[in-house]
């Protein structure tokens, strides 16, 4: 989609459905509009991860509404949308679920229409459909239900009588879906029973459907109010024969890491791969980037090394970041992969090798052990047990372990260590992690390097982690595990192969 701008299309408000909780359910159109919007107005039910799609300079305005606690009343939200659009802005109004299904999107559209502001509704996946689906409840099913009725469960207690025709609902043989009805669940059940539905009619409740906090319960219409007493909104209530399929088709809550919360301490630029794999297995991921990857203030050493690439025997890349920042500088100097034609290329592991492959380079050597010693042993094997006379370029972080440099130098090589990026302590979600630790709801903290251990422990002290042994600590490899132990902490989980997929596999098999 072409980037939108107010100069090109004029001021406009997009009423966007954010979906029910799983960020992956956002539509492509919604994502592209978020990336172009000048202002994003979002509510409490829109997944916070979606804000990452907003452009860096976008103004983010929270107007969340939950029961009895409104950041802004609806009239004020309507006025805000009109006011921001009149400032010649593209405005993305991000709403949970679908804007037009109990989302008051119609009211906002009418307010914009009355003010003469152009608007567009971008449908979203409604929780009324998605939450039952993730709980294993198809709303229609041959022989059980051929229609669906979606009903608000949030009727005001001040109304003299219900607006619902309970007799018609009970007689319809339709699947009944009540949205935001937990407060009124006893009345909903009583009204349906009085209207003629059998007490044994299957009924289910799904809390925060499609999110990693999802919980669901299957019961009967008569027993559901008592058995679901601990459930709260946002929840969806399903009444009808299809609810009985929940115990057989409940795929989402059966995922290997469902119910586990895992902290990812990798740099934000690197976290997505690990986070995606964990999320695909059902885990709740808390990104806690302890490292921020930054460009260097100046590149004279790297530029000089690139100018002399033809004189190196080997160029050894020890991280994906090293590859990315090396190539950025290569492109800046109007060079490409051909500049490395005379060199042997080594990568410390498969992820680094894949990063090189994206630039058309197939490494000449990848060790079987993804540590410094593995590279040195492998190169010694390639060169007949000596590296004497080998001239090796090592582009890496400005501050890094010198184990590889030492082993290569001891083997006779001449090493040129050149920084191509730097790391800094990142601002992380300290308070949230502390709260999870104290509540006993933090399953695991993962570490991808010694620096992530050290930086994490500057914010979460080792003595605090020792107080909560139920939170497991996982390290990608032996060096990182040893760093944990140097602080007096146990490394509970460590894969045999020092890769992200292997780490995820270890978590899958070893997290209690």
d(CA 322, CA 397): 7
- Residues marked active site are found at 43, 65, 180
Pick from 297, 327, 315: which is nearest to 416 by CA? 315
d(CA 364, CA 341): 12
d(CA 487, CA 349): 27
Specify the DSSP element, H or E, that contains 90. strand 90-95
d(CA 291, CA 458): 12
**Token digits of residue 402:** 């010198």
What DSSP string describes 218-235? EEETTTHHHHTTT--SSE
Pick from 208, 5, 17: which is nearest to 94 by CA? 17
- CA 66, chain centre distance (Å): 23
d(CA 352, CA 362): 11
Beta bridge partners of 446: 264, 474
**Token digits of residue 410:** 């001891």
CB 329 within 8 Å of CB 462: no
d(CA 169, CA 149): 8
Residue with token string 């390290």? 475
Pick from 299, 331, 483, 479: which is nearest to 398 by CA? 299
């Amino acid at each position: 989609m072409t980037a939108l701008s107010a100069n090109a299309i004029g001021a406009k408000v997009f009423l966007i459905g954010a979906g029910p909780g799983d960020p992956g359910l956002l539509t492509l159109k919604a994502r592209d509009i978020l990336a172009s919007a000048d202002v994003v107005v979002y509510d409490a039910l829109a997944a916070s991860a979606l804000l990452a799609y907003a452009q860096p300079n976008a103004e983010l305005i929270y107007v969340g509404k939950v029961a009895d606690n409104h950041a802004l009343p609806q009239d004020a939200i309507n006025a805000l949308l009109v006011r921001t659009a009149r400032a010649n802005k593209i405005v993305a109004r991000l709403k949970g679920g679908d804007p037009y299904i109990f989302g008051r999107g119609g009211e906002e559209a009418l307010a914009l229409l009355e003010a003469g502001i152009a608007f567009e509704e971008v449908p979203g996946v409604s929780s009324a459909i998605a939450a039952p689906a993730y709980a294993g409840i198809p709303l229609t099913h041959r022989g059980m239900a051929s229609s669906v009725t979606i009903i608000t469960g949030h009727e005001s207690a001040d109304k003299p009588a219900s607006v619902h025709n309970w007799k018609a609902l009970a007689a319809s043989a339709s699947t009944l879906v009540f949205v935001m009805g937990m407060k009124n669940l006893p009345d909903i059940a009583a009204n349906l029973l009085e209207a003629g539905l059998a007490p044994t009619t299957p009924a289910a409740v799904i809390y925060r459907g499609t999110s990693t906090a999802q919980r669901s319960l299957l019961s009967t219409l008569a027993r559901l109010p008592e058995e679901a007493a601990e459930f709260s909104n946002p929840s969806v209530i399903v009444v009808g024969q299809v609810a009985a399929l929940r115990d057989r088709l409940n795929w989402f809550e059966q995922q290997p890491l469902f119910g586990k919360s895992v902290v990812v301490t990798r740099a934000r630029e690197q976290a997505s791969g690990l986070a995606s794999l964990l999320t695909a297995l059902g885990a709740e991921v808390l990104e806690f980037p302890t490292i921020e990857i930054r460009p260097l203030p100046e590149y004279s050493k790297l530029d000089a090394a690139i100018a002399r690439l033809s004189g190196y025997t080997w160029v050894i890349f020890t991280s994906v970041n090293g590859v990315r920042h090396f190539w950025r500088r290569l492109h800046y100097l109007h060079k490409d992969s051909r500049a490395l034609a005379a060199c042997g290329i080594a990568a410390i592991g498969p992820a680094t090798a894949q990063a090189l492959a994206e630039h058309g380079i197939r490494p000449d050597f990848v060790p079987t052990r993804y540590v410094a010693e593995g590279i040195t042993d492998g190169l010694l094997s390639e060169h007949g047990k000596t590296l004497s006379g080998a001239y090796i370029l090592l582009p890496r972080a400005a501050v890094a372990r010198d184990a590889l440099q030492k082993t290569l130098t001891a083997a006779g090589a001449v090493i040129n260590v050149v920084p191509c990026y730097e790391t800094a302590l990142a601002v992380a979600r300290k308070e949230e992690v502390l709260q999870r630790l104290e509540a006993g709801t933090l399953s695991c903290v993962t570490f991808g390097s010694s620096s992530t251990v050290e930086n994490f422990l500057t914010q979460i002290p080792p003595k605090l982690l020792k107080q909560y042994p139920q939170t497991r600590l996982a390290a990608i490899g032996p060096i990182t595990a040893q760093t944990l132990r140097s602080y007096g902490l146990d490394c509970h989980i460590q894969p045999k192969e020092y890769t992200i997929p292997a780490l995820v596999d270890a978590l899958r098999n070893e997290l209690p």
